[in-house]
Amino acid sequence: LNVSRPFGKIADEKKNNFPQDFDIDMDNPETEKAAVAIQSQFRKYQKKKQDVKS
């Protein structure tokens, strides 16, 4: 870890560090809709998993 760089710059580099075969258009509105749907299902799964433990 190179401590001389600000943390924000490191986070930006990680965010944009996609594999070379990554061909999903991140600016496409359909991509955002799909991401929201996936996140929603994952949150439901996590909540259900948490409720089973309780």
Give pTM, 2 decimals. Answer: 0.53
8-47: pLDDT as tens digits: 555 555 666 767 777 889 899 999 999 999 999 999 999 9
> At 16, which amino acid appears?
N
Is residue 4 pLDDT above 70, yes or no? no
Q: Tell the residue number behind the tokens 């070379």, with chain if given.
A: 20
> Would residue 33 be called left, alpha or beta, if left means φ above 0 and alpha means ψ between -120 and 50 degrees?
alpha
User: Where in the chain are the domains?
Assistant: 25-54
Element (H, E) at 43: helix 29-53
Distance between CA atoms of 40 and 47, rounded to whole angstroms? Answer: 11
**25-42: buried (b, 16+ CB within 10 Å) or exposed (e) per residue?**
eeeeeeeeeeeeeeeeee
Q: Given this model, what pLDDT does residue 34 score?
A: 95
